[in-house]
Copies of this chain bind each other. A is one copy, B any other.
Amino acid sequence: MPVTPEQQAEIDELRAQTQPTLRAVSPGMEKHLYKAHDVLDHGFVRVIDYMGDDEAICQAARVSYGKGTKSVQNDEGLIRYLMRHWHSTPFEMCEIKLHVKLPVFVARQWIRHRTANVNEYSARYSILDREFYIPRVEDLAAQSVINNQGRGETLTGEEAERVLRYLKDDSNRAYDHYEDMISEEDGKQGLARELARMNLPANIYTQWYWKVDLHNLFHFLRLRADSHAQMEIRVYADAICEIVKDWVPAAYGAFEDYRLGGATLSGKAVECIRKMVAGEEVTQETSGMSKGEWREFMGVVEG
């Protein structure tokens, strides 16, 4: 269970009392505040705070473009226009602060997105909990044989069992030894926490506060809610997508259409499309593309 009874009590208390504010309020987001959305076996995502809504994006755009935005009839149209033309600064005017509990190997990918603010639980100061990510059997995938970074079929039988046994046993043993090393009982001095933590494997859970603006969040989601992302980070991105959809529905709709569901074509691909639409035949050989490019291009054209 990701959330402890103490945490749930705190959440309930925070959700019990509203205060008046003059700021922009997103009703869809207020529903999410503080609640933990479960992810993986012990992880969660929860909204701690937010700034702005769809209207705030338009308001900022209208400061920039002034009378130039008059022609766009409504907010949704303006937001779609901004997204289509890569006008990123109005989206930067919204901000979200999340509390995330996640395995360390996921945190290591996540932190590569540098344009965000982070406060992570410190294993130099404090003692980590005995919580490890252990995949479900159906998520134990083999190395892909066609893609260096992807996953192939699901492991079966004894092999799957052995993998699960390793993951469970090793993490528990590592944690037993971690506890023993820092223990000050029985006359022991107790190893410094900043040293003892090095014995813990990458599937241990950590947690952090992560604050980011909407433009950079969309960039993160485009890469991590993508089918090429590792499943264990994609489930976090998917959970955040559901939250953002309620927070800024118009902006999320434009993001879904222009980024998540869209495609980027090279100059060569654009030329091929012009020929194909005109009825000409095009093959990989005549396209000027490599085999890998052509395969990806066909994925766009044929679906």
Q: Which A residues have a C-beta under 8 Å from some C-beta of B?
A: 14-15, 17-25, 30, 33-34, 48-52, 56, 59-61, 63-69, 71, 77, 80-81, 84-86, 89-90, 92-93, 95, 97, 99, 103-105, 108, 111-112, 114-115, 117-122, 124-127, 133, 135, 139-144, 148-153, 155-156, 159, 162-163, 166-167, 170-171, 173-174, 177, 180-182, 184, 188-195, 197-203, 207-209, 211, 213, 223, 228, 230, 256-258, 260-270, 273-274, 276-277, 290, 292-293, 296, 300-303
Question: Knowing A125-B148, A126-B68, A143-B193 touch, does A20 contact B18 (C-beta < 8 A)?
Answer: yes
Question: Are B257 and A267 closer than 8 Å at their CB atoms?
Answer: yes
Give me 15 other A-B pairs in contact (C-beta within 8 A), A20-B21, A95-B95 excluded. A21-B30, A23-B50, A63-B207, A66-B125, A93-B119, A142-B190, A149-B194, A151-B194, A155-B191, A167-B199, A257-B268, A263-B264, A265-B265, A274-B301, A277-B302
Residue of B22, B170, B273 near A33 (CB, 8 A) is B22
Contact yes or no, B119 A63, CB < 8 A: yes
In the A-B complex, the 7 residue pairs with the closest CB atoms: A261-B267, A66-B126, A68-B125, A18-B20, A92-B117, A198-B203, A68-B148
B200 to A119, Cβ gap below 8 A?
no
- Inter-subunit contact A61/B119 (CB<8 Å): yes
Contact of A93 among B97, B155, B191, B274 (CB under 8 A): B97
A46 to B104, alpha carbons, bound, how many Å? 27
A270 to B92, CA, bound (A): 27
Among B30, B84, B127, point to the contact of A266 (Cβ < 8 A): B84
Q: Given the complex, which residues of B lie within 8 Å of A52, measured CB to CB?
A: 49, 97
Q: How far is the CB of A271 from chain B (nearest CB, A)?
A: 8
* Distance between Cα atoms of A179 and B188 in the complex (Å): 35
Are B181 and A177 in contact (CB-based, < 8 A)?
no
Shortest Cβ distance from A8 into chain B, in angstroms?
A: 16
With A140-B191, A301-B273 as given contacts, are A103 and B261 in contact (CB-CB < 8 Å)? Answer: no
A270 close to B266 (CB less than 8 A)? no
A292 interface neighbour in B81, B159, B193, B213, Cβ under 8 Å: B81
Verify A189–B49 contact, CB threshold 8 A.
no
- CB neighbours (8 Å) of A59 from chain B are 48, 209
Task: List residues of chain B with CB within 8 A of the CB of A273.
Answer: 273, 277, 300-301
Known interface pairs A23-B49, A181-B163; A223-B86 also in contact (CB < 8 Å): yes
Minimum C-beta distance from A302 to chain B (A) = 7
**Interface core residue of A89, A112, A303 (most chain B CB under 10 Å):** A89
The contact of A189 among B77, B159, B293, by CB within 8 Å, is B159
